[in-house]
Structure 1
Amino acid sequence: MKLSLITATLSASALLAFPLTSSAQTPSTAPIKIGVLTDLSGVVADATGKGSVEAARIAAEEAGGSVLGRPIEVISADHQHRPDIGSSIARKWFDVEGVDVIVDLPNSSVALAVQNIAREKKKIVMFSSAGTTALTQEQCSPYGIQWTYTTYALAHGTASAVVKTGGKNWFILGSDYAFGKQLAKDTSDVVTANGGHVLGTVYHPLNTSDFSSFLLQAQSSKAQIIALANAGGDTINAIKQASEFGIGKGGQKLASMLLMITDVHSLGLKVAQGTYLTTPSYWDSNEGTRAFTKKFEARVGHPPTFLQAGVYGSVRHYLKAVKAAGTDQSDAVMAKMRQLPIDDPFSQHAQIRPDGLVVRDMLLAQVKTPEQSKKPWDYYTIVATTPGEDLVWPLSESKCPLVKNDKKS
């Protein structure tokens, strides 16, 4: 009797230590958690911020609110444009809160810091709002995707067009952090490559309120074109103060290398009219973009910027990949994201390269005059579509360690 009792006890212990296969394969009920790391209160809050969070939520809702039988949860935080704060949030999200993927990431310095952590943790990060080419060049990651744009694309889309129309002499005014410096460099390279000349470059502090000394330097250079390599509130303030200085009346023209539809709205068409810009997407392009905009505008109060549209597209594609992979395991999901076609209405002829860069067609647009605008937010005339292949560096010139030598041929 004692032997039978001992045997039964051991058998029960063994069952506890080694669960039945059917129990071990029970799907997790933990949520698929998406972290929107963004600017909720700073210089690009209008272009990202709350709108980016709502864009992610719309993508989750369109997926049915769950995937693989697990609810989809969207959380958000403000990195305050500080890499240390962004890094701290990312570590907590990955290590403690079970976040599966981080998206958005305005501010290239923050984005690069978070990409390092995501690489270490083998977690996916998708950049809608960070434009530095370092994300998919020297500091590329097998878990990082640069979804929406790069400084290289914006510079090639806008600067090359302006130079070809006769704007040969340039002065560049850029923001003093990774994004602004990279955009200024890319703009300078494009101008020079197309036969133009850069007469000077100056950098201003992020979120400055006084551009007078910088604009005076640009004005005194006698350059035909003053390029603004900045974003959000900095772009708006620079354009407003340039108007106050009479820069446009003196024959010099402004070229904004990164201009959002929310920036145009803040400036007004009377000030912004005629400005050329490159944009990855526009809310009024097709039935799909208009349908999304109707949902988005009901929550946020305005159409999406291309950064917010990028968050929507990236989350949508991620969730489709999770479903197709049958798991949220990062390597499997990344493989599916590369394999599946990108089909959101804001992404035309888009594909993910081996370096993590999404190649997409972009639009060369011109800001309408007040007379040309026929309805609210009817701000752009689409001048041309630029093929994605013309807006990226060739893989043969890639500095990304993920690009195999046989692709550099």
Structure 2
Amino acid sequence: MRTTLLAAACIAAWHGSACAQPAKTVSDGVVRIGFLLDMSSVYADVTGPGSAAAARMAVEDFGGTVLGAPIEVVIADHQNKPDIAAATARAWFDTDRVDAILDVAASATALAAADIARAKHRIIAFNGPGAVRLTNEACSPVSIHWAYDTYALANVTAQATVKRGGDSWFFLTADYAFGHDLERDASAVVRASGGSVKGSVRAPLNTPDFSSFLLQAQGSGAKVVGLANAGRDTTTAIKQAAEFGLAQGGQTLAGLLVYINDVHSLGLKPTQGMLLTEGFYWDLDDATRAWSKRFFERTGRMPNMSQAGVYSTVTHYLKAVAKAGTDDTDAVMKVMRETPVDDFYAKGGRIREDGRMVHDMYLFEVKRPEESTGEWDLYKRVATIPGDQAFQPLSASRCPLVKK
């Protein structure tokens, strides 16, 4: 799907006067940004059409042109298949002249597309995937990890849960890169916080029946069942855990990646009291409420952290193109790294040498039904965790770009 958004007026303000810039500074007269999303499968609700809408909003708000050239949004459904993600990224860069890919939903597909972007020397950014290896072993000079990662999710949620007495864990893990990284990172935090890990079980992506996995979790005797999965897998596991009576048996569910879409879909009764970590919530302040209201008017639902992150990423990229005076990869990446991210999504965010965009993360508790004042009034903030405390420190990085 392609959308070209043209402005009727010149772009000014922070990013300079676009109309005064010659279009020849843009490689082929068009700035094309691509999004490899899950439009039809397990992560469609938390990325998919919502992320596409956020991207188009960002381009429209920017004015539709940059440096006198139109901005084109290109979207593809990778069907959660790494080979399709890699082939699409290669075709976009080689044939379709896409300048940057600014999201790839899911970790396995993101890692595949990241390899192509590195080889083609094109900018790639991630809001949907969480695998921390994107800024570790798989880091590159052209990649940015924007919204969240498994280290931050595990670090914030697992620490808080152990402090509340949940000191023995069993993990129900999605059997691919994201799930593996999330289980590993959460296990390390649990042990470092004085807790123990009783075991784990790995479930295939898009599993419809978690009964055998939940029986193993019950049999482990662990106080906490950590859900190292996302999207439809998370909501299915929570529903079936309620049917199996895990809570009545004294076990607590810890959703290590729970989106607002998931809580809204499940309702407050089965999720009340759950601790979760997010990089964004629509009701944080006036700026988040104003943007989220516009998103809701377009999509009929409130945005999650990945979808809001797409808007932030696109805006930062386009500002960098305007400031650099070109869509050249090196020039744009230099400006993106040097310029703080300061918008409704992140205040004073910064892109580190490993590609991690460091920003505050938030620990939330899901409200009880009687505490909610509306359909999307779902969270209460427990804590704000500064980015340098939430994300993996550079001293622990496995990224070859980081100077030791």
Asked if TM exceeds 0.5, the reply is yes
Report the Cα offset of residue 185 of structure 1: 0.6
**Residue 155 (structure 2) pairs with residue 159 (structure 1):** no
Q: 2:281 and 2:31 mapped to 1: Cα distance?
A: 29
Q: Is the Cα contact below 8 Å between 2:340 and 2:348 reproduced in 1?
A: no
Report the Cα offset of residue 27 of structure 1: 4.4
Q: Is the Cα contact below 8 Å between 1:171 and 1:223 reproduced in 2?
A: yes
Q: 1:166 and 1:104 mapped to 2: Cα distance?
A: 37
Extract structure 1 runs of 4+ deviating beyond 2 A: 24-30
Residue of structure 1 in register with 2:269 after alignment: 270
Letter in 2 for 1:388: G
Q: Is the Cα contact below 8 Å between 1:52 and 1:307 reproduced in 2?
A: yes
Q: 1:256 and 1:393 mapped to 2: Cα distance?
A: 20
Q: 2:217 and 2:354 mapped to 1: Cα distance?
A: 37
Q: 1:349 and 1:268 mapped to 2: Cα distance?
A: 34
1:298-346 per-residue CA deviation (whole Å, 9 max, x = no partner) reads 2211010111011111111000100000000000000000111101201
1:101-134 per-residue CA deviation (whole Å, 9 max, x = no partner) reads 1122121111111111101111000000111111
Report the Cα offset of residue 271 of structure 1: 1.0
Residue of structure 2 in register with 1:92 after alignment: 91
Describe the shift of the 1:169–1:25 C-alpha distance in structure 2 as closer, same or farther (beyond 3 A). closer
- Ranges in structure 2 where 5+ consecutive residues have no aligned partner: 1-21
Describe the shift of the 1:95–1:376 C-alpha distance in structure 2 as closer, same or farther (beyond 3 A). same
TM-score by length of 1: 0.92
Alignment of 1:7-156 (within 5 A): 26-28=24-26, 30-156=29-155
TM-score by length of 2: 0.93
Describe the shift of the 1:27–1:105 C-alpha distance in structure 2 as closer, same or farther (beyond 3 A). closer
Residue of structure 1 in register with 2:288 after alignment: 289
Q: Is the Cα contact below 8 Å between 2:38 and 2:44 reproduced in 1?
A: yes
Q: 1:262 and 1:200 mapped to 2: Cα distance?
A: 29
Letter in 2 for 1:109: A
**Residue 317 (structure 2) pairs with residue 336 (structure 1):** no
Residue of structure 2 in register with 1:319 after alignment: 318
Q: 1:344 and 1:67 mapped to 2: Cα distance?
A: 19
- Ranges in structure 1 where 5+ consecutive residues have no aligned partner: 1-23
Residue of structure 2 in register with 1:218 after alignment: 217
Residue of structure 2 in register with 1:208 after alignment: 207
Aligned length: 382
Q: 1:171 and 1:301 mapped to 2: Cα distance?
A: 36
Letter in 1 for 2:262: D
Report the Cα offset of residue 170 of structure 1: 0.6
Describe the shift of the 1:117–1:288 C-alpha distance in structure 2 as closer, same or farther (beyond 3 A). same
Q: 1:349 and 1:68 mapped to 2: Cα distance?
A: 26
Q: Secondary structure at the match of 1:235?
A: helix
Q: Is the Cα contact below 8 Å between 1:67 and 1:323 reproduced in 2?
A: yes
Residue of structure 2 in register with 1:186 after alignment: 185
Describe the shift of the 1:346–1:143 C-alpha distance in structure 2 as closer, same or farther (beyond 3 A). same
Letter in 1 for 2:328: Q
Q: Is the Cα contact below 8 Å between 1:349 and 1:361 reproduced in 2?
A: no
Q: 1:214 and 1:327 mapped to 2: Cα distance?
A: 52
Residue of structure 2 in register with 1:3 after alignment: none
Q: Is the Cα contact below 8 Å between 2:47 and 2:306 reproduced in 1?
A: yes
- Cα-Cα RMSD: 1.2
Q: 2:215 and 2:23 mapped to 1: Cα distance?
A: 68
Q: 1:276 and 1:107 mapped to 2: Cα distance?
A: 23
Q: 2:154 and 2:356 mapped to 1: Cα distance?
A: 16
Residue of structure 2 in register with 1:233 after alignment: 232
Letter in 2 for 1:240: K
